[in-house]
Amino acid sequence: MSENEEADNSKARFRHLKVIFAHFREEWYKYVIQATVVISGIVIAFALEKWHLIQLEQEEFTDAYELIAQEISVDTTHISKIISRFEKRRTSYESILKDSMTREEFDACYYCPRMVTSLYTISPTDLGFEHLSKLADYRIGPADTLNRAIEEYYREVHVNLPMWQEFIRYDIQENIGHWKLNMSWYYKRERRPEEMIDYQLNSSEYKNMVYVQRNLIYKNYIPLLQKLDKHALDILKMIEFRIKGD
């Protein structure tokens, strides 16, 4: 190739580049718009996917809160019944301890023969709490008042409540075991043998049993149930507010 031909080719390539740059200079905004559209589409797609995941996660939290609310509502019903039953017995415990209960009052008191041998218990379920605790970001917000309140409630339910129920149950078993070994009236078929009535009205041993049960129930068990009941009602209000807010 001659020098003239090479020079002509170089000029041709240069003219071609000038045409391309001129075209780009005239149409650059179109390329920018196209690039912006593509990038915006990608960003929107990621945002929609993230929003969808957040919605799914929020639905899981809502399901967990609703299940917890159902379980706690059942708990409060049982707790209220237990408190009511024991409150009806309170005066009878005091009457026995003060030697002020008459034979007529004892005969009319259907639960008096079982004052130291019966217990009303509650065994709450925690399926909702299990579901909540398995969610991915359950512990991301330690300052979340609702989750902290729920966790504290179930800790009381699974630690302190069974502990006091077991204390009372153990004392009841001790009382029954003592009667089986030492009280002939325990095996009589009569509903209320005279020996039993005399024992429960006049025996200092029986008063000691009543005293222990009274303290276990009214100074520990009932206050704990009242605390749980108030805690549960507060949680129900918080759950309702959280679900409506979401």
pLDDT digits (tens, 9 = 90+) for 80-116: 999 999 999 999 999 999 999 999 999 898 888 889 9
| CA-based nearest residue to 79, from 232, 234, 215 | 232
Question: For residues 171 and 169, what is the distance between their CA atoms, to the nearest angstrom?
Answer: 5
pTM (whole model) above 0.85: no
The model's pLDDT over 139-172, given as tens digits with 9 standing for 90+, comes to 444 457 888 888 888 888 888 999 999 999 999 9
pLDDT for the residue numbered 51: 45
Quote the percentage of the chain above a pLDDT of 90: 39
pLDDT for the residue numbered 56: 47
pLDDT for the residue numbered 125: 74
